[in-house]
Structure 1
Amino acid sequence: MFANKVIMITGASKGLGRALAVKFAEEGAKVAICARKPGPLKEVENELKSLGAEVVALEADVSVARDVDRFVSVTEETWGSVDVLFNNASVFGPGPRLLADYPEKEFLEVLRINTLNPFLVTKRVLPGMISRGMGSIINLTSEAGQTGFSEWGAYGISKFAVEGMTQTWADELDGTGVRMNMVDPGEMDTEMHGKAVPECEYPLANPQDHLEVFLYLASDDSSDENGKRFEAQEYQDKGRGKA
């Protein structure tokens, strides 16, 4: 189903991004990945190649326009197009912190990174998708993007912004053949969750166990889905996967 499809994943060196990269490599896709830290990124690149996948892997900060342009340009020069984009990269910030105690500089930095990177990468891949009349963009959100939680600070607020951006862009893309949706992966056993809930005392899902909704949204089966919000673990539990 994904043979020869070009799947682009930002923030792919760990957690859910890594799980997505491995899964799509196993499904036969061509995988373009980026991250800010070259060491972990190289490990993922080697893992994908060991699965037989074609890979583009570049160190990049996707909240910086020139890094975004380089990443997308290399991918397009290598394979001609981007079929599916996962805007996965984000940061949590300084850890659990009341807004009253949040440093202004760090507050602005979290908002800048988490809202600017999906904006920049989407804006860069859209011309190619629109010219071909097809493409799927999936933004990663959070329960904290629709419910304010104490001490989740700028991260939660940034996800409110991502949800608004997704709705706005989906409306603007209506009728183009390109679709944009968002997925709340739920609480997962990741480094970011460890930072958000450092003393977590309840079991967490493994990222690799809840990927069906991502496969669905990347597939042609979801061509009529646009502007919708999905919850990965609920989707999996209901057995709704179609990919």
Structure 2
Amino acid sequence: MAVAIITGASKGLGRALAVALARQGWDLVLDARTASVLEESAREARAYGTRVVALPGDVTDAWHRAALVAGARELGGLDLLVSNASALGAEPLVRLEALPPAGLRAALETNVVAALGLVQEALPLLRASAAGTVIAVSSDAAAEAYETWGGYGASKAALDHLAAVLAVEEPGLRVWAVDPGDMRTDLYQAAVPVDDDSGRPLPESVVPGFLRLLAERPASGRYAAPELLGVEA
């Protein structure tokens, strides 16, 4: 049975992806900071008969990252690591002139440093898998210059580059940075609370793009979920 770790799995894209993988028979190790909401995700995934380990905690904590990998080991190994947990750096987002350095450090710590730390912890299990895969959830803000998205975008650009280098250093793995596109999520609402996001697609609508990657296993690289679905960005 395939095993996946998904961070930031209590809601939004992480939860939608967890449920979709559970539906396909994956066993899961799920992470989020809020235990009660994480347990709701785990309960929804377990409805499909899969084994689910829900571990509340903060991915910036090295002990917590080790516990996530230990949970996968207890399930039999690790085939997929999804780094989805994200921090904005400021809520709501602000222009660079007003971005607190501490906020930028927090975004980098969660979105980049913790993601690398989890990969380092998980590499022995990923290398042992016949289909070891890392998905770094990116953003179009990593490649485009949007006002107020500078700190968050910089952290996601750094994550993209780490993923690209990891792919070169670990040719036996698939390493994909995936831009899910615009979605209606709590993260986006916190970033731009004045926006009306009712017209934005739900996270569930982009999950088939991730599933296509897992099914077809193209070369390591950067992908956009809408393009994988044949949707014009």
Compute the displacement of 1:196 (Å): 2.0
Partner residue in 1 for 2:223: 230
Partner residue in 1 for 2:193: 198
Aligned residue runs from structure 1 range 96-115, under 5 A: 96-115=93-112
- Please identify runs of 4+ aligned residues in structure 1 that moved more than 6 A: none
User: Percent same amino acid among aligned pairs?
Assistant: 33
Give the aligned length.
Answer: 230
Q: What SS is found at the alignment partner of 2:229?
A: helix
Deviates most, 202-211 or 63-72? 202-211
Q: What SS is found at the alignment partner of 1:31?
A: strand
2:138 partner amino acid: T
Partner residue in 1 for 2:10: 13
Unpaired runs of at least 5, structure 2:
none
Cα RMSD (Å):
1.6
Aligned residue runs from structure 1 range 23-172, under 5 A: 23-77=20-74, 79-94=75-90, 95-132=92-129, 134-172=131-169
Q: Is the 8 A contact 2:80 2:126 kept in 1?
A: no
What TM-score does the superposition give when structure 2 sets the normalisation length? 0.93
What TM-score does the superposition give when structure 1 sets the normalisation length? 0.89
Partner residue in 2 for 1:215: 211
Deviation string, structure 1 residues 129-154 (Cα, Å, up to 9, x no partner): 22345401110000000112111132
Q: What SS is found at the alignment partner of 1:237?
A: coil
Q: For the residues of structure 2 that align with 1:134 and 1:209, how far apart are their CA atoms?
A: 25
Q: For the residues of structure 1 that align with 2:193 and 2:36, how far apart are their CA atoms?
A: 25
